[in-house]
């Protein structure tokens, strides 16, 4: 296979902030002593007077972000997903969510692909936590292009947004002509035998699974679901009706994330079998990211297995 | 402060206290003790000090106030109503289904509320954020905040304290309502945050100690705080929980319970007598 350009979405985030700041002077960027890792450091270098390091105090950072937003300015607040969505959950809920403030929570190092740092830093619950907050928009981009576009669209959106970025470099899927819209799923491969709905780094695996399944004579539809909330129920219902079976794939707990959001729609509007691929009620562990994705079964071949499972249930 | 101004503020504060009692009595729940202890400070800020316009609650460049001890909402609401942000009739709807006045401050719906608060420790961070925004965008307004003494047991208060001093937020003035009581007992018994003044000093704040029921001292402290060139200011205000209603004063039981009809009549009579005496 030819060398495919790979970029970690955390880098996309830092670069997008700099792009955004060139045309907009009404926002600030906060971090909690992780600027080098979350890549807000790229912004800090370019626009030092608009960057504030809150130090190791994520709860205060979320409150500070809320305060800034009350003054009519926008603000990006970053840390690892574990601390942004986990540690500061209640600050995000009460100080940002309840007043529906214009804070963009940009969390990096999500999922087990954090790698060597291990379970304490591998947040597989952030999508579930953030989804439950009324009015919170939740986005999990699949590649560099989508990640940068998500930052721009989040800036334009009036209200709180949670965007999930990763540490692991991912193949680029979309070109610059891609029209990313918050709340819209995108059909990447057509097919009518089964639908794979994937998010984040699992989108590339879903594309690979599509090719593997074709070899077995199974034509799988692949949908990229970057926005976890509000979920694109139209594209889900259409897929349920036309393909009769769905596999969801996410680098996140199967409790409360994409799979659950898809099931919410399918159960209510068009019941068909859904099999969820994700982290099965477990903590992560230390190891190189690419080995962990194998160990935790988050590869194209694992999606293929789930497709076989769901096809057995399909009527 | 001249006598006329002091008397005028004392009258307003007494009316504010009557609003607190009316609201909590009507709601049959709420927090009268900590509302009464902060009433004089809020009265001074909203009726004398702050650059605000009740007819234009979102006025650009206005001074801000964040009630970090959000359970003292009855005091904030009574001040806002008496100041003309909304009808005093709204006070009787406090905590009622479908009414304007939520149990804790709600900036989305209540005119004059600059930040939604209620979960302790969070308002002071928001106040620091507002102060930081003012500095970043070259605004000259001041940010006032009120925290409870028990609230200082929240770790976030000290995260915010460290942040505000490090970022040199001299436009931030935080009152600590030192009424010495929290739900489970005295702050000294439960998990003492004392000495609060020395803690703020150690966090590089400008610290001023006052009697939180003395308008001369409140005014002098705020004027001094506004002269600070590099540090945020903590005004540690010694107060009496339940101040102004004899049977509520210094009684831990009045942290979060409402007066019955008989107690309501006694409280209102005391406050009416006080008003008449001024």
Query: HEC profile for A275-314?
Result: EEEEECCCCCCCCCHHHHHHHCCCCHHHHHHHHHHHHHHC
Give the model confidence (pLDDT) of A97-132 as tens digits: 999 999 999 999 999 999 999 999 999 999 999 999
The Cα–Cα gap between A22 and B123 comes to: 32
Say if residue A262's pLDDT is above 70: yes
pLDDT at A4: 80
Burial environment of residue B173 by CB neighbours within 10 A (0 to 12, 13 to 18, 19 or more): buried
Q: Hey, what are A132's tokens? A: 């439950």
The Cα–Cα gap between B88 and B93 comes to: 10
Q: Is domain A186-313 given the CATH code 3.40.50.920 in the classification? A: yes
The Cα–Cα gap between A90 and A103 comes to: 15
The Cα–Cα gap between A225 and A248 comes to: 10
What average pLDDT does the structure give for chain A?
A: 97
Burial environment of residue A118 by CB neighbours within 10 A (0 to 12, 13 to 18, 19 or more): middle
A13 and chain B in contact, CB less than 8 A? no
Residue in B129, B137, B162 nearest the CB of A67: B129
Percentage of the residues of chain A whose pLDDT score is greater than 90: 98
Say if residue A96's pLDDT is above 50: yes
- List, in order, residues 6 or more apart from A118 with CB less than 8 Å away: A284, A285, A286
- Which residue of chain A has the CA closest to B157? A60
pLDDT average, residue stretch A61-74 = 98
Q: Hey, what are B223's tokens? A: 């004027």
Contact A39, A7 (CB under 8 A): no
Write out chain B residues lying below 8 Å of A98, CB-based. Answer: 106, 108, 116
Determine whether the interchain pair B128/A63 forms a contact, defined as Cβ–Cβ distance below 8 Å.
yes
Range(s) within chain A of domains with CATH label 3.40.50.970: 6-171
CATH topology for B3-277 is Rossmann fold (3.40.50)
Say if residue A1's pLDDT is above 50: no
Say if residue A2's pLDDT is above 70: no
Q: Which of A140, A77, A132 is nearest to A111 (CA)?
A: A140
A272 and chain B in contact, CB less than 8 A? no
Determine whether the interchain pair A28/B133 forms a contact, defined as Cβ–Cβ distance below 8 Å.
yes
176-235 in A: which are within 8 Å (CB) of B?
Answer: none
Write out chain A residues lying below 8 Å of B125, CB-based. Answer: 59-64, 66-67, 91, 95
Determine whether the interchain pair B129/A64 forms a contact, defined as Cβ–Cβ distance below 8 Å.
yes
Determine whether the interchain pair B133/A73 forms a contact, defined as Cβ–Cβ distance below 8 Å.
yes
The DSSP symbol for A2 reads P
Residue A49 bears catalytic tag? no
Q: How many CB atoms lie within 10 A of CB B62?
A: 18
Of the listed A19, A49, A58, A269, which one is catalytic?
A: A58
Measured CA to CA in angstroms, residue A146 lies from A9, A149, B42 at distances of 9, 5, 48
Beta bridge partners of A7: A170
Say if residue A194's pLDDT is above 80: yes
Determine whether the interchain pair B119/A65 forms a contact, defined as Cβ–Cβ distance below 8 Å.
no
Determine whether the interchain pair A67/B132 forms a contact, defined as Cβ–Cβ distance below 8 Å.
yes
Say if residue A276's pLDDT is above 80: yes
Measured CA to CA in angstroms, residue B64 lies from B24, B44, B143, B172, B230 at distances of 25, 14, 5, 10, 19
Residue boundaries of the structural domains of chain B: 3-277
Write out chain B residues lying below 8 Å of A63, CB-based. Answer: 122-126, 128-129, 156, 160
Determine whether the interchain pair B156/A28 forms a contact, defined as Cβ–Cβ distance below 8 Å.
no
242-261 in B: which are within 8 Å (CB) of A?
Answer: none
Residue in B126, B132, B134 nearest the CB of A95: B126
Range(s) within chain A of domains with CATH label 3.40.50.920: 186-313
Q: Which of B113, B114, B116, B129 is most worth mutating to test chain A (most A CB atoms within 10 A of its CB)?
A: B129
Write out chain A residues lying below 8 Å of B110, CB-based. Answer: none
Residue in A54, A73, A99 nearest the CB of B116: A99
Determine whether the interchain pair A60/B126 forms a contact, defined as Cβ–Cβ distance below 8 Å.
no
The CATH number of A6-171 is 3.40.50.970
Write out chain A residues lying below 8 Å of B137, CB-based. Answer: 71, 73
The Cα–Cα gap between A301 and A293 comes to: 11
Q: Which of B99, B83, B116 is nearest to B27 (CA)?
A: B99
pLDDT one digit per residue (tens) for chain B, 278 residues: 999 999 999 999 999 999 999 999 999 999 999 999 999 999 999 999 999 999 999 999 999 999 999 999 999 999 999 999 999 999 999 999 999 999 999 999 999 999 999 999 999 999 999 999 999 999 999 999 999 999 999 999 999 999 999 999 999 999 999 999 999 999 999 999 999 999 999 999 999 999 999 999 999 999 999 999 999 999 999 999 999 999 999 999 999 999 999 999 999 999 999 999 99
Alpha helical stretches, state H, chain B:
3-27, 32-44, 73-83, 122-136, 155-166, 187-191, 196-202, 215-225, 261-277
């Amino acid at each position: 296979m030819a060398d495919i350009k790979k970029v970690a979405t955390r880098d996309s985030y830092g670069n997008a902030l700099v792009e955004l700041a060139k045309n907009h002077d009404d926002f600030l960027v906060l971090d909690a002593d992780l600027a080098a890792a979350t890549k807000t450091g790229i912004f800090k270098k370019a626009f030092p007077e608009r960057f504030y390091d809150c130090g190791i105090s994520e709860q205060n950072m979320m409150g500070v972000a809320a305060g800034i937003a009350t003054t009519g300015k926008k603000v990006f607040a970053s840390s690892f997903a574990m601390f942004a969505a986990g540690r500061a959950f209640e600050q995000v809920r009460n100080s940002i969510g309840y007043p529906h403030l214009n804070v963009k929570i940009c969390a990096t190092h999500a999922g087990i692909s954090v790698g060597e740092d291990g379970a304490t830093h591998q947040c597989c619950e952030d999508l579930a936590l953030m989804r439950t907050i009324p009015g919170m928009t939740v986005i999990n981009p699949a590649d560099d292009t989508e990640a940068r576009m998500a930052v721009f669209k989040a800036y334009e959106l009036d209200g709180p947004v949670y965007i999930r970025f990763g540490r692991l470099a991912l193949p680029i899927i979309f070109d610059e002509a891609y029209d990313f819209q918050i709340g819209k799923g995108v059909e990447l491969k057509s097919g009518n035998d089964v639908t794979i709905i994937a998010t984040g780094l699992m989108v590339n695996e879903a594309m690979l699974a599509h090719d593997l399944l074709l070899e077995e004579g199974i034509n799988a539809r692949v949908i990229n679901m970057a926005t976890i909330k509000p979920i694109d129920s139209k594209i889900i219902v259409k897929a349920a009706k036309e393909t009769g079976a769905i596999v969801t794939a996410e680098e996140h707990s199967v409790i409360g994330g994409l799979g659950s959001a898809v099931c919410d729609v399918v159960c209510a509007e068009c019941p068909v079998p859904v099999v969820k691929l994700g982290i099965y009620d477990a903590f992560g562990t230390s190891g190189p990211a690419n080995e962990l994705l194998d160990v935790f079964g988050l590869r194209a071949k694992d999606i293929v297995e789930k497709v076989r499972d769901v096809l057995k249930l399909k009527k | 402060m001249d006598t006329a101004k002091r008397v005028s503020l004392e009258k307003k504060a007494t009316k504010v206290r009557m609003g607190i009692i009316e609201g909590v009595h009507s709601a049959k729940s709420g927090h009268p003790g900590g509302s009464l202890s902060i009433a004089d400070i809020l009265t001074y800020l909203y009726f004398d000090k702050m650059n605000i316009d009740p007819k234009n609650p979102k006025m650009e460049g206005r001074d801000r106030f964040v009630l970090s001890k959000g359970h003292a909402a009855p005091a904030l609401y009574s001040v806002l109503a008496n100041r003309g942000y909304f009808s005093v009739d709204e006070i009787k709807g406090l905590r009622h289904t479908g009414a304007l006045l939520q149990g804790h401050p709600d900036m989305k719906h209540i005119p004059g509320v600059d930040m939604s608060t209620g979960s302790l420790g969070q308002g002071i961070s928001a106040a620091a954020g507002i102060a930081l925004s003012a500095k970043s965008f070259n605004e000259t307004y001041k940010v006032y905040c009120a925290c409870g003494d028990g609230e200082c047991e929240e770790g976030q208060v000290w995260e915010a304290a460290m942040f505000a001093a490090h970022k040199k937020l001299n436009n931030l003035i935080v009152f600590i309502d030192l009424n010495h009581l929290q739900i489970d007992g005295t702050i000294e018994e439960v998990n003492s945050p004392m000495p609060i003044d020395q803690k703020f000093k150690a966090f590089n704040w400008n610290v001023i100690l006052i009697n939180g029921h003395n308008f001369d001292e409140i005014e002098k402290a705020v004027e001094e705080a506004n002269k600070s060139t590099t540090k945020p200011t903590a005004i540690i205000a010694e107060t009496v929980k339940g101040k102004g209603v004899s049977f509520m004063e210094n009684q831990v039981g009045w942290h979060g319970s409402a007066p019955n009809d008989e107690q309501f009549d006694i409280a209102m009579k005391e406050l009416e007598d006080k008003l008449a005496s001024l």
